[in-house]
Amino acid sequence: MSVASVEENITTVKEALKKALSSTKRGADQCQLIAVSKVQPNEKVAQALQAGHRVFGENKVQEAQQKWPDFRAQFEGVELHLIGSLQTNKTSDAVALFDVIQTVDRPKLAKSLKTEMDAQGRNVRLYIQVNTGEEDQKGGVLPADLPDLLALCRDELGLTIEGLMCIPPIDDEPAFHFALLKKLADRHGLDKLSMGMSGDYELAAQMGAHYVRVGTAVFGARDYS
C-alpha cells in the first residue's frame, strides 16, 4: 500500500465499500468515507483534497486548527468531523471549526455545546459516542446511560442528535460492537452510525454504518516520531 498514492487508496477503499454494500439493501451512497487525517503530513491531506475528497476526520481540536483553516481557504465544500474526545474548555474552538462532532458523551459537554452553538449561531451536527466495550480509559457514554443522555440532549437542551458512534476495543470482535450500536440506535429512533476503521470498515458498512472513519488505509501508517 505504501507505494500507492492517496488518490489510489481512496479509490480502493470506495470500491471496497461499494462491494461490501452490494450484498445489502443499502446503496453505495448510504455509506460515506471519512478520511482520518490526524498526524498525517499536509502533503498527503492535500493529495486527498486534490483528488476531490472532502470529508475528513481529526481527533484533536488544536491539531485541526493548525491545518484546516488554510485547506478550507483553498478547497470548497470541506466537511470536518471531530472524532476524538472533547474537553469543555475547547468546545468554543470545536464549534467554530467542525461541521460534525461525533464524541458527545456526557451532560456537561452537551450543555457546553448547546451554549456555544447558540452563542456562535452555528448548528454543528452531533453524534453521541457510546463506549460499547465499557472500557475505563475510553470516552463514550456507557450503553446503560445512553437513554438519560439522549433525553437531556433532546428534551432539555433541544439538540438534534444525528446518530451514534463507537470505537470497539482493540482485541475484540468488532461485529459484536457494531451490532450493539445498531441496536441502540434503532431503539432510540436514530438512523446514522459512525463505525468501522481501516481494519473493519467493510464489515461496518455491511452492518449499517453511515460513516466509516478510515485513516491508515487512505494515507498509510501514521508517523508519530
Per CB under 6 A, residues contacting ligand PLP are: 36, 38, 59, 83-84, 167, 197-198, 213-217
Indicate the helix (H) or strand (E) that contains 209. none
Rg from Cα positions in the chain: 17
State how far the Cα of 177 lies from the Cα of 155, in Å rounded to an integer.
27
CB of 200 to ligand PLP, least distance (A): 9
CB of 174 to ligand PLP, least distance (A): 11
Query: Residue 110 or 217: which CB sits closer to ligand PLP?
Result: 217
CB of 83 to ligand PLP, least distance (A): 4
Query: Residue 59 or 91: which CB sits closer to ligand PLP?
Result: 59
Query: Residue 16 or 152: which CB sits closer to ligand PLP?
Result: 16
> Which residue, among 148, 105, 131, 129, has the nearest Cα to 193 in the 3D structure?
129
CB of 59 to ligand PLP, least distance (A): 4
First to last CA, the chain: 20
CB of 89 to ligand PLP, least distance (A): 20
Query: Residue 125 or 154: which CB sits closer to ligand PLP?
Result: 125
Query: Residue 88 or 198: which CB sits closer to ligand PLP?
Result: 198
Instruction: Tell me the residue nearest to ligand PLP as measured from the CB.
Output: 215
State the alpha helices, DSSP H only, in 121-215: 146-151, 174-187, 201-206
State how far the Cα of 5 lies from the Cα of 24, in Å rounded to an integer.
30
State how far the Cα of 198 lies from the Cα of 192, in Å rounded to an integer.
19
Cβ neighbors of 33 (< 8 A, separation 6 or more) are: 10, 13, 14, 17, 53, 55, 211, 212, 214, 218
State how far the Cα of 173 lies from the Cα of 23, in Å rounded to an integer.
21
The three-point CA angle 173-219-92 to 5° equals: 85
Query: Residue 116 or 200: which CB sits closer to ligand PLP?
Result: 200
CB of 63 to ligand PLP, least distance (A): 12
